[in-house]
Amino acid sequence: MDAELTTQVDDLASLIRQASRAVAFTGAGLSTECGIPDFRSPGGLWTRNKPIPFDAFLASREVRSEAWRRKFAMDATFSAAVPGRGHRALAGMVRSGRLAGIITQNIDNLHQDSGVPDGQLIELHGNGTYAHCLDCRQRYDLDWVRGRFHAAGGQAPDCEACLGPVKAATISFGQAMPEEEMRQAVRWTLSSDLFLAIGSSLVVYPAAGLPASARQNGARLVIINGEETPLDAMADLVIRADIGTVLEAAGDRLAASGLS
């Protein structure tokens, strides 16, 4: 780690130490070290297929079947992933009380897998490790969907209870944000005095509006991301470096300084 990055990590650890209510906001860049491609980087799984908008999913079984085909193709990557250095460092900060909570755009369940309790985690874009009926909310395991899909020759299954469409429990483009999660995320954002935006290109709204609201409300804003974001100019600290390296080092500094 070069001298400039060392100084930035020291600054990050000090800001976290001084904060009375720090909140982290995480995006796909946190999980690339776990082998899950992010959305926009070249070579990402999503650059090969344009995302399927929500209305198209609802409108035709053919599109739903295509959505499930893609989901199963990506699922090996998702289910093999385990929390990385970044997830572990953030979970450690939650455990030690340094971090009040984590708001995530990720759908990979890796914050939960790293031990962050449900009450300290908000998933804004849902969770890709299970499915549900869009009409009656009945929950389905991916294995159940996969079994039905293959038995029907590659056709998307319907809900057993109400015949509604069954979809991965994630939020698609064009689908409404989950209301309660969004309200709670706004509450956490406005009650934070330090907001850490980590691994997000900060271009997907409304989620990307949270860091800006935190800053406007008087919180310190830190942006940790490998590339520039539209909010860099308003941040108190911008660390443009590898996320796992930065968070692990910051976690080590905090652990070394104890709770004083």
Q: Under rule CB under 6 A, which residues in 76-105 are in contact with ligand NAD?
A: 105
Among 161, 173, 187, 230, binds Zn ion (CB under 5 A): 161
139 lies in the site for Zn ion, by CB under 5 A: no
# chain residues binding ligand NAD, by CB under 6 A? 25
| Candidates 48-56, 77-85, 151-159, 190-198; binding stretch for Zn ion (CB under 5 A) | 151-159
Q: Which positions from 181 to 210 touch ligand NAD by CB under 6 A, shown as an x/- string?
A: ------------------xxx--x------
Among 159, 207, 212, 246, binds Zn ion (CB under 5 A): 159
131 lies in the site for Zn ion, by CB under 5 A: no
Residue among 56 and 204 whose Cβ is closer to ligand NAD = 204
Tell me the three state secondary structure of residue 98. coil
Among 66, 135, 232, 236, binds Zn ion (CB under 5 A): 135
136 lies in the site for Zn ion, by CB under 5 A: yes
Rounded to whole angstroms, the Cα distance separating 192 from 210 reads 11
Which of 26, 17, 18, 9 has its CA nearest to residue 196? Answer: 26
Residue 85: CB atoms within 10 A of its CB come to 19
| Candidates 10-18, 39-47, 54-62, 149-157; binding stretch for ligand NAD (CB under 6 A) | 39-47
Token pair, residue 200, equals 């997000």
157 lies in the site for ligand NAD, by CB under 6 A: no
The CB-of-142 to ligand NAD minimum distance in angstroms stands at 15
Among 242, 248, 251, 254, binds ligand NAD (CB under 6 A): 242
| Candidates 11-19, 23-31, 130-138, 153-161; binding stretch for ligand NAD (CB under 6 A) | 23-31
Token pair, residue 139, equals 């929950």
27 lies in the site for ligand NAD, by CB under 6 A: yes
Return the biggest CA–CA distance within the chain: 61
Residue 35: CB atoms within 10 A of its CB come to 12
Rounded to whole angstroms, the Cα distance separating 240 from 8 reads 10
Contacts 24+ apart (CB under 8 A), 213-218: 213/186, 213/189, 214/23, 214/189, 214/190, 217/189, 217/190, 218/193
Catalytic positions: 125
Q: Is the dihedral angle over the CA atoms 39, 45, 48, 51 positive or is it negative?
A: negative
CA angle 147, 153, 159 (to 5 degrees): 50
Instruction: Enumerate binding residues for ligand NAD (CB under 6 A).
Output: 27-29, 31-33, 36, 38-41, 105-108, 125, 199-201, 204, 225-227, 242-243
